[in-house]
Amino acid sequence: MARDLETQRRSLLESLRSAGIHDERVLAAIEATPRELFVDPHHRQWAYADQALPIGCGQTISQPLIVATMTQALQLSGQERVLEIGTGSGYQAAILARLARFVVTVERYQQLACQAARRLLQLGLSNVAVFVGDGSLGWPDAAPYDRIVVTAAAPQIPQQLVAQLVEGGILVLPVGSHDHQELLVIRRTFSGQEVHSLGGCVFVPLVGKGGWEE
């Protein structure tokens, strides 16, 4: 099984390169992060398939291409403080921890947060703080952040998250309806914000006071 997973990991990396993931630091972080640790044992054989998988509580671990695309869009150099909204399995947080100085990640489900924290500890990633709360409001106690990434879909750009960015900071998140969203990259500027789209996507909804109603 281990040999099969290694073969699948190498195949995934090649497919990510072919799909336009060119940041070698991002690719190295994905290569170093065992995705099989973050999926249900029943789905382990599909750990390196380029698809989302269920993780419990009605949530999913995102498709690797989406994870890589969002991470690459953050333009991480290694010095940033990053806020992640929607810890889920902890997979995205693990990759961010290899690429940034410090990661704050917020999950609304305590069960998922505890599981993610154990996995991150198992990997020896000590530069991540996992919190339980309404991530749709961000995490103001540790603001401002250099980067924010949201792994659930908001109905509109959450200005409360933009406000928690430093000037020049970047927010990456899906915005749209329940059925279809655009993956947006927002940079906070002195005069407001610059926005561009990376294309269509489908995420679980961002539930909370700053997102969709439960």
> Which residues are known to be catalytic?
62
Task: Confirm if 84 and 104 have CB atoms less than 8 A apart.
Answer: yes
**Torsion of the alpha carbons at 143, 149, 154 and 159, rounded to the nearest 10:** 30
Residue positions counted in the chain: 214
Strand pairing category for 102-107 and 181-189: unpaired
Structure-block tokens of residue 66: 């989406």
Please name the helix (run of DSSP H) or strand (run of DSSP E) that holds residue 150, with its range, or none.
strand 145-150
Strand pairing category for 102-107 and 128-132: parallel
Structure-block tokens of residue 114: 């505890």
Verify cis geometry, omega within 30 degrees of 0, for the bond prior to 144.
yes
CA 153 – CA 142 distance, rounded (Å): 23
